[in-house]
Amino acid sequence: MGIEPRPITPLREFEKALNSAELSENELELIEYIRHIGIFTQPILMRDLRLSPKPPVLSLLCVSCRKIGEKIPDHFEAVRRWSKSISKYGVRWDGDLLCSTAMNVDGEPLTPDAGTCPYDTLVVHKELFQGLD
């Protein structure tokens, strides 16, 4: 069984879901910032957005993605299946709606677990990136 391809998020549907998800001001700021910078780590988000270490910012990201995912349930469920299929441990990560672990040129994840960097490095999905606007 191979890895299934990532479900590409229809931008128009995502924007509509984002606008109707009733995100808090902080959640919306987090999503918009991630979409603008494109690549990030948890320490970068904490520093740039002046966030407290508790709760962890990646947990906040998952909560926001679930709220957005409620508005596009079929797509979100497809992303969750894909997320589980790419997980080393067979678990899904709801943040995969917006971004996923970056890979190096050798296809290795940029994570402490892989021994490639000190923090999990995440990258926003191409269709959701807004940093060039």
pLDDT in tens, 43-57: 999 999 999 999 999
What is the spatial distance between Cα 127 and Cα 13, in angstroms, rounded to a whole number?
12
pTM summary value: 0.93
DSSP tag of 99: E
Question: Per-residue confidence at 2, pLDDT binned at 50, 70, 90?
Answer: low
Does residue 2 belong to any structural domain of this protein? no
Angle, to 10 degrees, between the axis of helix 11-20 and the axis of helix 57-71?
A: 110
For residue 1, pLDDT beyond 70 = no
Does residue 64 belong to any structural domain of this protein? yes
Which pLDDT score, from 0 to 100, does residue 19 have?
A: 97
For residue 115, pLDDT beyond 70 = yes
Does residue 31 belong to any structural domain of this protein? yes
Does residue 133 belong to any structural domain of this protein? no
Does residue 4 belong to any structural domain of this protein? no
Kindly report the average pLDDT of the chain as a whole number.
95
Give the pairing type, strands 122-124 and 99-101: antiparallel
Question: Per-residue confidence at 88, pLDDT binned at 50, 70, 90?
Answer: confident
Which pLDDT score, from 0 to 100, does residue 31 have?
A: 98
Hey, what are 3's tokens? Answer: 């890895």
Does residue 22 belong to any structural domain of this protein? yes
Domain housing 51: 11-128
Residue range 32-47: average pLDDT? 97
Number of domains observed in the structure of the chain: 1
Residue range 62-80: average pLDDT? 98
